[in-house]
Amino acid sequence: MKVLRIFLYNTGVHKKRVIEFTDNNGNFKNFICLAGVNGTGKTTLFDLIENLGRFLNRKVQLNDFSINIERENVLSLVDFVQIDFLIDNKIISVVIGDEKYIQNDNTKEQMFIIENNVKEIIRKFEDDLKSQTEEKNISMIEKTRFEFYSREFAKRAKRLKKTKNNKSFFPVLQEISNNIDKNLIQNQTNLPFIYYFSDNDKKIIDTRYKILPKYELRYDIVHKYSPSQDDLKGLLVYFDYAFNDKYLQLVEWINKNIFEDKEILQIDRPNFNVLIKTNTGDTHNIDYLSSGEKSILVILVNIFLFANEQSIILIDEIEKSLHPQFQEKLLNLIKKLQKERGFQVIISAHSRKIWEDLQEDEIIDLTK
């Protein structure tokens, strides 16, 4: 799966824009960096790919989206957006907004998933929650209103716009829906998969385990990394126990490519922890790594274990908490894995170091 382009009209700071993720010959790019100062809409684009990607699952539900009183969901801000995804050499376009703005691609077979009133449902839900923020039991209100709007979401107006060979798209969509919630670790296949690392969540939480953590990554068309749910320490401890061959491959790769003055020594099984050995011979657990080291590990371990040629990897503010030397290392290792696996990478960066290490055609300047 690849992102080919995004069409925007009155969405956040984007008034009317086409953002191409293809080269001059119309071929998809494997590596793209969104560049620009704060306020140019980089995170909005990531959030749109995340949220519109979820509609590729025809069984999508309201609880697949983040809706709360603290931050508006990007779908409530959309007048019109169309994202063209390339899957199995077919274009599946997800559309929210007025159909008069729809853009056709005449180079390949194309299907449109048109969501007519999602914006209205989500905005009403958000407004409903905001109007009751003074209530003491806001969690109970959220639960009650969520049940109501979940039913509204299930009844929402939606349709597939026909193409000349509409039936050829159904097996693609059916395979996605049929595999939702299956264990991704035990059933690794080349399913379409978007993995999103947001700007603030590339970290490891100091979680103390009393029993062996069972790490389960269930398949969904979109997975957004969460430090609490996707605890890296728990993942490593569990892989050592359940998938030792894969764990040893991973640790060998980490020690060879990421660390210079330390290495992953072993799993401390009695305490369910990961031990790091420094070049001075000292040991400490993984929680004492720097924030930059943790950020690199979170991104690269998950890419190493789960990315395939059908994956799209989204990384917002890739340079956050990283020394320029670490920025270069992370970029080079992602590119190395990308060439080996064939997935698509879309990052954002403010760092000139990152920009200078990329080819000109790999950068999309959102200030222009």
Instruction: Output DSSP code: residue 321.
Output: T
To the nearest whole number, what is the mean pLDDT of the chain?
87
Give the confidence band of 280 by pLDDT, cuts at 50, 70, 90: very high
Phi, psi of 8 (to 5 degrees): -130, 140
Phi, psi of 38 (to 5 degrees): -60, 140
Query: Tokens 């853009």 correspond to what residue?
Result: 103
Q: What confidence score (pLDDT) does residue 317 get?
A: 92
- 3-state percent breakdown (helix, strand, coil) of the chain, nearest 5: 40, 25, 35
Nearest residue to 323 (alpha-carbon basis) of 284, 295, 365: 295
Q: By percentage, how much of the chain surpasses pLDDT 70?
A: 91
Q: What confidence score (pLDDT) does residue 260 get?
A: 85
Q: Give the three-state DSSP class for 89.
A: coil
CB of 78 closer than 8 Å to CB of 60: no
Give the residues across from 314 on adjacent strands. Answer: 196, 346
CB of 211 closer than 8 Å to CB of 329: no
Q: What confidence score (pLDDT) does residue 331 get?
A: 94
> Could you tell me which residue, 339 or 135, shows the higher pLDDT?
339
Q: Mean pLDDT, to the nearest integer, of 261-290?
A: 91
Q: Mean pLDDT, to the nearest integer, of 318-347?
A: 92
Structure tokens of 155? 């009844």
> Ranked by mean pLDDT, which of 8-12, 52-56, 284-288 comes out on top?
52-56
Give the confidence band of 314 by pLDDT, cuts at 50, 70, 90: very high
pLDDT tens-digit readout, 75-131? 988 999 999 999 999 999 999 998 899 999 888 889 999 998 899 999 988 888 777
Residue 251's H or E segment, with its range, is helix 244-257
pLDDT tens-digit readout, 300-309? 999 999 999 9
Alpha carbons 143 and 88: distance in angstroms, whole number: 39
pLDDT at 204 over 70: no
> Could you tell me which residue, 136 or 279, shows the higher pLDDT?
279
pLDDT at 58 over 70: yes
**Residue ranges of the alpha helices (H) in 54-169?**
118-130, 138-154
Structure tokens of 54? 């979820």
pLDDT tens-digit readout, 137-159? 555 556 677 888 899 889 888 87
DSSP 97-108: E-GGG----SSS
CB of 105 closer than 8 Å to CB of 154: no
Q: What confidence score (pLDDT) does residue 320 get?
A: 85
Nearest residue to 52 (alpha-carbon basis) of 79, 83, 76, 6: 83
Which residue type occupies 291? Answer: S
Nearest residue to 355 (alpha-carbon basis) of 337, 331, 322: 331
Q: What confidence score (pLDDT) does residue 94 get?
A: 95
Structure tokens of 251? 């640790």
Nearest residue to 228 (alpha-carbon basis) of 251, 204, 245, 210: 204
Least confident of 4-8, 209-213, 230-234, 260-264: 209-213
Any idea what the Cα angle at residue 142 is, between residues 139 and 145, rounded to 5°? 150
Alpha carbons 151 and 119: distance in angstroms, whole number: 15
